[in-house]
């Protein structure tokens, strides 16, 4: 797990103890320290907000389901250029499948993924279908309808921004990366 993912995971796991410390222990045992303290008020506001907890849970979902495997694979010390094109293609496909219909994305690979219009309205998953993670979805009951709508708008922005970044920066149409896949041991004949 990458450092950023680890810290998000740690914050989600420690949510209860952090609430206990800042919302119960400090106000009773450190009254003077928390009175008229702007920093404490911001921490208190964050820890009492389900919106914050749900957003963190969603970011953890992204880390675990999209980026963790890719980052772990490429932290190896062995040469992996022969799998880079395939892995980048799989990673981009995974990002697209979180917010787009399977039939639109599923059979596309490599440079063909870059040709997809990920903002096409009729190919977007609705709020019940968009992938946000089971734990995140369970927490949605704590939000108002307006907060839920804002949350799903933010989720779509995150997926669209990620897809846009990939489309601009991932070299899936690079012929060298595509051709070097031939070096993969599974392509070698006996």
Residues 40 and 74 in one domain: no
The answer to whether residue 60 sits within a structural domain is no
Mean pLDDT of the chain: 89
Distances (CA, A) of 98 to 21, 105, 107, 128: 36, 10, 15, 12
Q: Residue 12 burial (CB < 10 Å; 0-12/13-18/19+)?
A: middle
Kindly provide the residue ranges of all beta strands, DSSP E only, lying in 19-121, ordered along the sequence: none
User: Are 111 and 34 part of one and the same domain?
Assistant: no
The pLDDT confidence band at residue 188, using thresholds 50, 70 and 90, is: low
Same domain, 109 and 141: yes
Counting the structural domains of the chain, the total is: 2
- Per-residue model confidence as pLDDT tens digits over 2-43: 666 777 888 788 888 999 999 999 898 888 888 888 999 999
Domain match, 83 and 157 both: yes
Q: Which residue has the higher pLDDT, 111 or 124?
A: 124
Same domain, 103 and 149: yes
Domain interval for residue 25: 1-48
CA atoms within 13 A of residue 124's CA, in its CB half-sphere:
14
Predicted local confidence at residue 189, as pLDDT: 59
- Provide the pLDDT confidence category of residue 190 given band limits of 50, 70 and 90: very low
| Alpha carbons 52 and 152: distance in angstroms, whole number | 14
The answer on 81 and 40 residing in a single domain is no
pTM score:
0.83
pLDDT tens column, 147-166: 999 999 999 999 999 999 99
Considering the domain architecture, whether residues 96 and 44 belong to the same structural domain is answered as: no
H and E: helices and strands count for the chain: 13, 0
In a domain, 58, yes or no: no
- Is residue 186 scored above 60 in pLDDT? yes
What is the share, in percent, of the chain residues with pLDDT greater than 90?
56
Q: Is the residue at 91 inside a domain?
A: yes
42 and 116 together in one domain: no
- Whether residue 68 contacts residue 3, with contact meaning beta carbons closer than 8 Å, is answered with no
What is the distance in angstroms between the CA of the first residue and the CA of the last residue of the chain?
A: 37
Where are any strands of DSSP class E within 100-182? Answer: none
Whether residues 44 and 74 fall in one domain: no
């Amino acid at each position: 797990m990458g450092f950023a993912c680890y810290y998000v995971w740690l914050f989600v796991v420690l949510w209860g103890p952090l609430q206990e410390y800042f919302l119960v222990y400090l106000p009773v045992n450190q009254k003077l320290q928390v009175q008229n303290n702007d920093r404490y008020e911001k921490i208190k506001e964050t820890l009492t907000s389900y919106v914050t907890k749900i957003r963190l849970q969603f970011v953890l979902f992204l880390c675990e389901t999209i980026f963790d495997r890719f980052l772990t694979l490429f932290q190896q010390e062995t040469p992996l250029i022969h799998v880079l094109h395939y892995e980048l293609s799989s990673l981009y496909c995974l990002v697209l499948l979180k917010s787009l219909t399977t039939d639109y994305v599923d059979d596309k690979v490599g440079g063909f993924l870059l040709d997809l219009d990920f903002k096409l309205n009729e190919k977007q998953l609705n709020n019940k279908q968009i992938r946000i993670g089971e734990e995140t979805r369970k927490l949605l009951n704590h939000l108002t309808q307006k907060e839920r709508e804002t949350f799903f708008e933010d989720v779509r922005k995150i997926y669209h921004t990620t897809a846009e970044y990939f489309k601009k920066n991932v070299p899936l149409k690079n012929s060298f990366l595509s051709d070097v896949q031939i070096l993969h041991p599974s392509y070698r004949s006996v």
